Amino acid sequence: MHQHHSAHGLIQALSPIEPVTLVRPHAARRAARFFIERFPGTTMYAVKANPSPDLLRLLWDSGVTHYDVASIAEVRLVARTLPRATLCFMHPVKAEEAIAEAYWQHGVRTFSLDTMEELEKIVRATRNAADLNLLVRLRVSSDHSKLSLAAKFGAEPDEVAELLMATRQAADALGICFHVGSQAMTPHAYAQAMERVRAAIVAASVTVDIVDVGGGFPSSYPGMEPPPLDAYFDTIHRSFESLPISYSAELWCEPGRALSAEYSSLIVRVEKRRGDELYINDGAYGALFDAAHVGWRFPVTLLRDAASEELAAFSFYGPTCDDLDHMAGPFYLPADVKPGDFIEIGMLGAYGCAMRTKFNGFGAEEIHVVSDEPMTSLYTGEVEPERRTATVTKLF
């Protein structure tokens, strides 16, 4: 076990030639407790954001009992890791064989759908089971979110009434769900979507037992500083209370990013500098997929004492031979950054490890547990990197 007082100490002791992932269990626990204690309903972790078994166990130990799984592989993973967890198969388009395995072998009773064809698949695969929770996904706007999820899934307004009525006949508990998109920057996104829920209930005249507001809860990144999460919770609660539903109806949410983003960061080494371009040893085919492909800006800090006080804007190139392995940023670092320097890139707990590949032979890494604070947080307020102290323990 390697132990250090700070990320600087880790660099001095190890001088790693491969990327190093730092994980912060305390940050994941804090995020989970925040949702469990303050969201006015059931919190269900969206496993796709970060499927690490260690993180899954941390969330379970912190009170998260429900898990949104989107594939049979995720069903198997969570069932194996957390045998007592409640699994909800929330992908609206599933293989019939996957539905059957989830129901008969893993005890999954909750499924989402957005078409009559999917409803028929679920009924066939479960042999007309009488204990199903079936949630009809509505198509809602992603206008208030940084990443849209409005194009691929969701029943259209003219389809919803018939689909809800048919699903009501097959379900023990009928639900409505939606997804406002990833990184919703205003609570109004949920208020707007809840109006679609209201219209659907009125049009179908059905009793709804579950309203699932999906994911989209934001984290803090450079240039993306959202309102406090309590504002989202308050808006959702008011909208839910005003819906024409039974007094016993349940409210669910599916945070992924909000529970996992602060969990980890990445230490990379600068291999080359060309003007304002830095060549680093991780990139678009590793943990920085979002930085390359959707222009996501992550917080960065130079892990060197006596650096220039002047900041400059840089872009990154990753280690592969592909021109697409480019992260435009801008990432603001001391102007005198040079080859051999180490940079910490923060807020990579969401989708960082989940998107990793071994393309071109790159991708090996060490994982260390650290006790310092994330670079930014919606749970503690922003923390200046130079003021952080840390204890580091090698995990893998």
SS (H, E, C) the chain: CCEECCHHHHHHHHCCCCCEEEECHHHHHHHHHHHHHHCCCEEEEEHHHCCCHHHHHHHHHCCCCEEEECCHHHHHHHHHHCCCCEEEECCCCCCHHHHHHHHHHHCCCEEEECCHHHHHHHHHHCCCCCCCEEEEEECCCCCCEEECCCCCCCECHHHHHHHHHHHHHHCCEEEEECCCCEEECCCHHHHHHHHHHHHHHHHHCCCCCEEECCCCCCCCECCECCCCHHHHHHHHHHHHHCCCCCCCCEEEECCCHHHHHHHEEEEEEEEEEECCEEEECCCCCCCCHHHHHCCCCCCEEECCCCCCCCEEEEEEECCCCCCCCEEEEEEEEECCCCCCCEEEECCCCCCCHHHCCCHHHCCCCEEEEECCCCCCCCCCCCCCHHHCCCCEEECC
Burial class (CB in 10 A: 0-12, 13-18, 19+), 234: middle
Candidates 88, 253, 321, 353; catalytic one: 321
Place of tokens 């840089």: 314
Q: Is 253 among the residues known to form the active site?
A: no
Q: Give me the active site residues, please.
A: 321
